[in-house]
Amino acid sequence: MAFQPIVDITSGEVFAREALVRGPAGEGAGHVLSAITDTNRYAFDQQCRVKALELAARLSPPASREKLSINFMPNAVYEPRACIRLTLSTAERVGFPPERIIFEFTESERIDTDHLLSILSTYRSIGFMTAIDDFGAGHSGLNLLARFQPDIVKLDMDLIRDIDREPAKRTVVRHTLAMLADFGITPVCEGVETVGELAALRDLGVELVQGYLLAKPAFEAFGTPVLPLP
């Protein structure tokens, strides 16, 4: 696993670390995911959760409040409560509080909405936080959000790219942020790569940001983000 921080740009503190799958020699996610099939998807999804928790527990400083964001594959979950048992037992074994765990999924994957809602509702009832990744780039989008409001929505990086130079993107993001505020959902803007993009998001009132400008993913380590001055 590699870990990339989600940073609160109002305080400079790390809100969460996203666990990103890597090969044993640091190979990228695409290399690893290319080997995933219907046969091994469940085992892969389960082991990713275990590895992320084991590493995060070892890397987290004592009394840390930073959250851990774990990507999961809804199509690998055949029954939510049965498939969460290993995650819960691992969290207990390594001493990582469940309330500090965020489960995020990408809405770019085609999934059965009712099945997904069953997973999200189950995770919420257990005490996990939930997040939609790549919001604005997927298949379900607003229809899903109307049926279930997660704790966090991560705006797709294509909406953030060059937002300081494209007024239409600022309009879309501004109205999306207002909608999320009405729902009581915390927004995260990901894929921030330039000082101009960061400044535009600050002007829009964004607090949580993720991207190469602040910190690249660190292989089996918790990197220290660098927050450019306003």
CA separation for the pair 21, 103 (Å, rounded): 14
Helix (H) or strand (E) holding 80: helix 80-83
Give me the residue spans of the domains in the chain: 2-156
Nearest residue to 228 (alpha-carbon basis) of 190, 202, 189: 202
pLDDT digits (tens, 9 = 90+) for 145-189: 999 999 999 999 999 999 999 999 999 999 999 999 999 999 999
Q: What is the pTM of this model?
A: 0.93
**Checking DSSP bridges between strand 152-155 and strand 2-8, what pairing results, if any?**
unpaired
Nearest residue to 26 (alpha-carbon basis) of 220, 208, 227, 196: 220
Q: What is the mean pLDDT of residues 131-149?
A: 83
The pLDDT value recorded for residue 24 is 87
Residue 7, beta-bridge partner list? 14, 209
User: Is the pLDDT assigned to residue 78 strictly greater than 90?
Assistant: no
CATH architecture of 2-156: Alpha-Beta Barrel (3.20)
Annotated catalytic residue: which of 54, 190, 193, 207? 190
Those residues with Cβ within 8 angstroms of residue 40's Cβ, 6 or more apart along the chain or in another chain: none
Residue 186, beta-bridge partner list? 152
- Categorize the per-residue pLDDT at 140 as very low, low, confident or very high, splitting at 50, 70 and 90: low
**Checking DSSP bridges between strand 129-135 and strand 2-8, what pairing results, if any?**
unpaired
pLDDT digits (tens, 9 = 90+) for 79-132: 999 999 999 999 999 999 999 999 998 765 567 888 889 999 999 999 999 999
The pLDDT value recorded for residue 172 is 95
- Categorize the per-residue pLDDT at 63 as very low, low, confident or very high, splitting at 50, 70 and 90: confident
CA separation for the pair 117, 105 (Å, rounded): 12
Q: What is the mean pLDDT of residues 60-77?
A: 91
The pLDDT value recorded for residue 209 is 98
Q: Which residue has the tokens 């993720």?
A: 210
- Indicate if 104 belongs to the active site: no
User: Is the pLDDT assigned to residue 5 strictly greater than 60?
Assistant: yes
SS3 of the chain: helix, strand, coil, percent, to 5: 40, 20, 40
The pLDDT value recorded for residue 107 is 60
Higher pLDDT, 63 or 216: 216
**How far out from the chain centre does Cα 188 lie?**
9
CA separation for the pair 52, 26 (Å, rounded): 15
pLDDT digits (tens, 9 = 90+) for 8-42: 999 999 999 999 999 988 889 899 989 999 899 99
Amino acid of residue 46? Q
Helix (H) or strand (E) holding 105: strand 101-106
